[in-house]
Chain A
Amino acid sequence: MADTMIYGYDLVKEYPISRGMFKRKELLRAVGGVTLQVNKGEVLGLVGESGCGKTTLARLILGMIPPTAGSVEIAGQNINKLARLERAKTIQPIFQDPYSSLNPSKTIGSILTLPLRIQRDRESHSWEKRVRQTMDLVGLAQRMYNQYPNQLSGGQRQRVAIARALITRPAVVVCDEPTSALDVSVQSQILNLLKELREELNLTYVLISHNLAVVQHMATRVAVMYFGHVVEEEKTNILFEEPKHEYTKKLLGSILVPDPNKRIFNKKE
């Protein structure tokens, strides 16, 4: 049996929606009772349409927001009971927009050193060396150490974001739409990089995407979310070949395959 890396039990997240000062607050159920388990080395793809709660679920897994009910365990430890620095060493996010995820007023070097400084890493003399090694690992040129985010392209910035997430060597990385702000030719580079890193560093990914082709390419298992619930969860190839839930079928039926011989619309002629 593989080790369980992420175990989320009956996760619920409700947000109060204010309807004015004196009215009772209404509750919006963003995630309504999700149980999931991800083993070490797996890639769990979370798919669903906008507003289905996948980003909220990701933030719950990251421990950035407390669940209304249920709990998340990462490597056997409750994420919400972990100390801030411990949590940071266990699980890290990668965001969608590499233009807003890097502080524009800091150099790449200082962005990448920050996690080490925050962790009060003892060997401060080795910080720069480790930052430069990590830059190497994600394919960033060494001269970028002293450059600012606005001097890098979108793909390079996303590499910086990945390097920042990996420098403290977390076991789990949550990628929230890691390539949807990027061009296809850059997307393929980033996806390849994420794949390589997973093998090299033995990482566990939670990959959130609305792009089903990306999920199919990357994930080992896929969970389909619909209105705050996981409606179907299955190994990737099984799910894509034999979807069982109606919504999954609808979702898969909407995929536009980049092959003119496999059109989903009936065209004239």
Chain B
Amino acid sequence: MTITPPLSRSQQTAEEILEPTPMTKLRRRIFKNHSFLIGALILLVIIAIAVLAPLIAPHDPYDQDLARRLMNPFWHDKKTDSLFVFGTDKVGRDYLSRLIYGAQISLLIGFLTVLISGIIGTALGVIAGYFGGRVDMVVNFIINTRLAMPVFLVAMAAVVAFGASIHVVIMVLGLFLWDRFAVVMRSITMQARDLDYVTAARAIGCSTPYIIIREIFPNVLSSLTVVATVEMANAILLEAALSFLGFGVQAPTPSWGLMLNEGREYMFFSPWLLALPGTGLFLLVLAINLFGDGLRDVTLERER
């Protein structure tokens, strides 16, 4: 039998359970979860870049100069310029600056879309899950109607109808990506509704809004954030795809998807025009997914 240094039992009274508080446990688990830490780190770096864009971007991302078009990035030998680290695009705009401002666009679209769709979906889901019955049936019908509509086609149609702009993209995505929020929130709220502490809250006279906001909502928050990360990655990719096809953000705004489109014709001669915004998108979506996965592990374990 292995003998390890014993804990001093005399220091504790017999009735004590040595369990840390929920917050301490959560903190410990966060520092053990590598995917969460890596995802959070990359995400923080990208967010910092986006927020500090005016300070760190070396040039104005809209500043054209045909004389210096298609400069090579620093790892090439010929036709480089130390002022343009990642080279320039077909109209001579600094590619690094456009990439930095592109992060702004992607994150902005991601956050705002998730905010709008999150509010719609959570409200519908929580209401359906808590009240059940007829309300649930109506909400289910709305969810099914929404699922029957192809996001991409409707988004393209909306852009054609209202004109292409970043606002239209955000509104369309926000009004369409709430289905997963609604489905997940509905089922979680249904489970939470039957927990004894919710019944106890009703018995001590809490009102329904109070129960939903103070007793149920904090306990579905972790699942909500996990869905939010998935939807955010989804929204960013959809925006990139729409912009790539010309139905999203319009030139000259520096969106990564639009940059991919603009670089398409130079794919074989200047592949970095595609590779750089592609890497940006890849890193951002990867970071968000790692973060979301890690968050799920960290918080779900807490509930176990």
Contact = CB atoms under 8 A, between A and B. Distances in A.
A165 to B, nearest CB: 8
B81 to A, nearest CB: 56
A62 interface: yes
User: Which are the 10 A-B pairs with shortest beta-carbon distances?
Assistant: A88-B205, A101-B196, A115-B204, A151-B19, A95-B196, A85-B205, A100-B196, A103-B197, A84-B205, A118-B205
Nearest to A155: B15
A88 B207 CA distance: 11
A87 B206 CA distance: 11
B199 interface: yes
Contacts of A161: 200
Contacts of A165: 203
A87 B203 CA distance: 8
A87 B215 CA distance: 20
Given A64-B203, A103-B215, A151-B21, 20 more contacts: A84-B207, A88-B204, A88-B205, A92-B204, A95-B196, A95-B199, A100-B195, A100-B196, A101-B197, A101-B199, A101-B200, A105-B22, A105-B219, A118-B204, A118-B205, A141-B15, A148-B22, A150-B19, A151-B20, A152-B17
B214 to A, nearest CB: 9
B27 to A, nearest CB: 14
A62 B204 CA distance: 11
A164 interface: yes
Nearest to A114: B204
A188 interface: no
Contacts of A87: 205
A180 interface: no
Interface string A91-105: 111011100111111
Given A95-B196, A148-B22, A168 B204 contact: yes
B38 interface: no
A209 to B, nearest CB: 17
Contacts of A156: 15
Nearest to A105: B218
Interface in B98-123: none
A192 interface: no
A203 to B, nearest CB: 15
B202 interface: yes
B286 interface: no
Given A105-B219, A148-B22, A115 B17 contact: no
A237 interface: no
Interface string A40-68: 00000000000000000000001010000
Contacts, number: 71
B219 A97 contact: no
A105 B197 CA distance: 11
24 contacts: A62-B203, A64-B202, A64-B203, A84-B205, A85-B205, A88-B204, A91-B203, A92-B204, A97-B196, A101-B200, A102-B197, A105-B22, A114-B204, A118-B205, A118-B206, A118-B210, A119-B205, A148-B22, A150-B19, A151-B19, A153-B17, A164-B204, A165-B203, A168-B204
A162 to B, nearest CB: 12
A243 to B, nearest CB: 33
Interface string B23-50: 0000000000000000000000000000
Residue among B21, B197, B202, B218 facing the most chain A CB atoms (10 A cut-off): B197
B139 to A, nearest CB: 15
Contacts of A92: 203-204
Nearest to B24: A148
B201 interface: yes
A100 B15 CA distance: 21
B199 A64 contact: yes
A85 B207 CA distance: 9
Nearest to B196: A101
Nearest to B204: A115
A114 B199 CA distance: 14
Given A84-B207, A118-B206, A141-B15, A95 B219 contact: no
Contacts of B218: 105
A176 to B, nearest CB: 9
Interface in B182-201: 195-197, 199-201
Interface in A58-92: 62, 64, 84-85, 87-89, 91-92
Given A88-B205, A105-B22, A119-B205, A151 B17 contact: yes
